Amino acid sequence: MHPVRFGVRALALRLRLAVMMRRRSLPDLLKALTPSSSQTNRNGKAPLSAIKKSLSDAENLIAHVPLAPDTCLYRALTRYAILRSAGHPARFVMGIKPDSDEIAGHAWVELSGEPFDEDVDPSLVVTFAYPEPFGSIGTAL
């Protein structure tokens, strides 16, 4: 897939996510954003450098669209969907700071157990991940 198409898909998804989130639970939404293996295997993996550039451009544009929510949750959901559609085994993660007086959390995406294209506070405790890592409750998806 051409890098511009990743950016266009990211923009379109970000504009739809608020409605999608009102209609589905988070696990159901992530399942819907996860393409089947047959959908991702026909084109092979897209280069991460092209995906990073496309996502960065899309995120910069979204920052100027007042109707589109611009939080870590929406960024992480979009990154997850685009990386998965490009053939990369992305993992959506949410965590909270356990010692905070207020609820302080963050959502991000991991590839190979490492945050994708951002620094994540190491004091965050993971509270939700999709798909579940091997060895967690149940089986990995």
What tens digit of pLDDT does each residue of 17-49 get? 989 999 999 999 999 999 876 555 566 788 899
Number of domains in the chain: 1
Quick: pLDDT tens for 66-96: 777 889 999 999 999 999 999 999 999 999 9
Residues in the chain, how many?
141
CB hemisphere CA count around 133 (13 angstroms): 12
Q: Tell me how far apart the alpha carbons of residues 131 and 140 are, in angstroms, rounded to a whole number.
A: 6
Q: In this structure, is residue 10 part of a structural domain?
A: yes
Q: Is the residue at 138 inside a domain?
A: no
Write out the residue range of the structural domain in which residue 119 sits: 3-130
- Do the domain assignments include residue 140? no
Compute the average pLDDT of residues 91-110: 91
Is 141 contained in some domain?
no
φ, ψ dihedrals at 66, nearest 5°: -65, -20
- The runs of H, that is alpha helices, within the chain are 3-23, 26-33, 37-41, 48-62, 72-85
pTM: predicted TM-score of the whole model, two decimal places = 0.85
